[in-house]
Amino acid sequence: MGNRTLFPTRYKMVFGTFLLAMIVLFDRILLSVAKDPVAESLQLSDKQMGWAMSIFALGYALFQTPAGLFADKYGPRKILTAVVALWSIFTALTGAVWNYLTLLIVRFLFGAGEAGAFPGMARAIYSWIPLSERGIVNGINFSGGRIGAAFALPMVAWLMDLVGWRLTFVLLGAIGILWGIVWYLWFRDNPEDHKGMSASEVSYIRAHTNRNTAEEEKVTIDFGKLFRSKTMWQLMGQYFASNFTFFFCLTWLFPHIKAKYGLDALEAGFYASAPLIFGALGNWFSGFLVDFIYKKKRWALSRKVPAIIGFLLASIGIVASVYMDEVTPAIILISIAVFGADMTLSPSWSACVDVGKQFSGAVSGTMNMAGNIGSFLTALAFPYLLELTGSEVPFFYLAAGLNLLAIVLWMKVKPQRPLQITATSNS
């Protein structure tokens, strides 16, 4: 991928962000797996559990843009260390909640802490990763989240049986603290400051990224221009749809199939993990496709084509799954939907780095804010629509409709045009 070093230092950075993505989704899915024992222990209804799951997404969404701005200003080394430590503390504190209110508070703060994860990664990618490698790097990172969540489903179910749900949250919070310590000691915001980086690799990175370090020091972001940008709103809208589909797997898929098909917790964990594995495959495939098309000198299509294919698969799979009477075909179709939904991630985040440049943390954070408003609404829409209509069908049709709308938005995105959002810009 660009120079002759057997294992360039930038790939080690990607391995670190891959592990971080695993931890992010591992911690995020814990409450879904722990739904029944938590609800029983705290005497909560399904609607209250829906709020407990969705309040995370609200905190996560609200702090996306500020977290991205901090990553741009202070660098991903400090910001990722700080936010990982913060959310890991609140992961552990989830094991200490004693009623509905404390659960809501801890989960909201946990979401606020996690908000800095992917914008921080995006800013690290902007500085460390050449344009021709960003598709696969984003695919690898997001696949880490899916693998982490898939691994968590059966493993956490087993661990909770062994030590109880409260201690499980504490043990998994400690893993994040360890990652933060290692990241702070190893990573540097600028590749040239890293002792393990060779001169040839630094030269290659400088020559193949769209950085202008002299310009970066002089300009600041104008949020008025950011929120007046059509491209920004297009990216936000399509990511809302993507998250609306995927977040179902992190919240209601496990309890939904457990109840509908009469499964025990371990069986439900294994079945619910399958779509997440397909999500990882979707990330890898999409990341490869993004870079393959980009190298054909079709920059715009390299972002559009994988995303449009992904949303089409998501729409078809999510609707077809509703009509399956057996768990296996239903999970296969949901897996196809998640494969498609996750195909949209690499082009989405690559496009944010493309158009955001030195403000890629703030731009990607703003897109992710909109996406996680979708996540927030998913966790509420499923139980409320189910109670209102007596059927899960309307929820799945709503998700499919949003996916089709996202295709229209992607047709209008121009990733090769940087956003004119600097406070000093006259355009």
Q: How many CB atoms lie within 10 A of CB 71?
A: 31
Across the range 320-346, mean pLDDT stands at 93
In contact, 239 and 371? CB cutoff 8 Å: yes
As a whole number of angstroms, the distance between CA 381 and CA 371 comes to: 15
Instruction: Report CA Rg, the chain.
Output: 21
Closest CA to 302 of 337, 348, 364: 348
Give the 3-state secondary structure of residue 422: strand
Q: What is the pLDDT of residues 61-81, one digit of tens each?
A: 889 889 888 998 999 999 999
Cα separation, 155 vs 392, in Å, equals 28
Residue 40 burial (CB count, 10 A): 10
For the chain, what percent of residues have pLDDT higher than 70? 96
d(CA 248, CA 140): 22
* pLDDT band at 216; cut points 50, 70, 90: low
Phi, psi of 254 (to 5 degrees): -60, -55
Q: How far is CA 209 from CA 173, 203, 204, 316, in A?
A: 35, 10, 9, 37
Residue of 86, 88, 71 lying closest to 125 (CA atoms):
71
What's the confidence (pLDDT) of residue 175? 92
- Give percent of the chain above pLDDT 90: 53
**Exposure on the CB side of residue 47, measured as CA atoms within 13 A:** 5
**Mean pLDDT of all residues belonging to the chain:** 89
pLDDT tens digits along 220-275: 888 899 999 999 999 999 999 998 888 888 778 888 888 888 888 788 888 988 99
Q: What integer pLDDT is reported at residue 426 of this predicted model?
A: 40
- Per domain, the residue ranges of the chain are 9-410
Q: Where are the beta strands (DSSP E) in 108-256?
A: none
E strands, 279-414, in order:
none
| Domain 9-410 falls under CATH 1.20.1250.20 | yes
Task: Produce one character per residue of 274-305: b if its CB has 16 or more CB atoms within 10 Å, e if not.
Answer: bbbbbbbbbbbbbbebbbbbbeeeebbebbbb
What pLDDT score does 212 carry? 63
**How many separate helices (H) and strands (E) can be counted in the chain?**
20, 0
pLDDT of residue 23 exceeding 50 = yes
Residues counted in the chain: 427
Is the Cα dihedral 212, 216, 220, 221 positive or negative?
Answer: positive
CA neighbor of 419 nearest in space, from 240, 231, 189, 148: 231
pLDDT of residue 2: 46
Weakest mean pLDDT among 103-107, 194-198, 357-361: 357-361
- Chain segment 98-142, per-residue pLDDT in tens: 999 999 999 999 999 999 999 999 899 999 999 889 889 988 998
The reported pLDDT for the residue numbered 214 is 56
Residue whose structure tokens are 């399509």 = 238
324-339: average pLDDT: 93
pLDDT for the residue 380: 84
* In 217-359, alpha helices (H): 223-228, 230-251, 253-260, 265-295, 299-320, 327-343, 345-356
Q: What is the pLDDT of residue 217?
A: 60
| pLDDT band at residue 410 using 50, 70 and 90 as cut-offs | very high
Q: Using N-to-C axis directions, what is the helix angle for 230-251 and 9-33, rounded to 10°?
A: 50
Report pLDDT digits (tens) over 271-304: 988 998 999 999 999 999 999 999 998 989 999 9
> Of 148-152, 279-283, 310-314, 379-383, where does mean pLDDT reach its minimum?
148-152
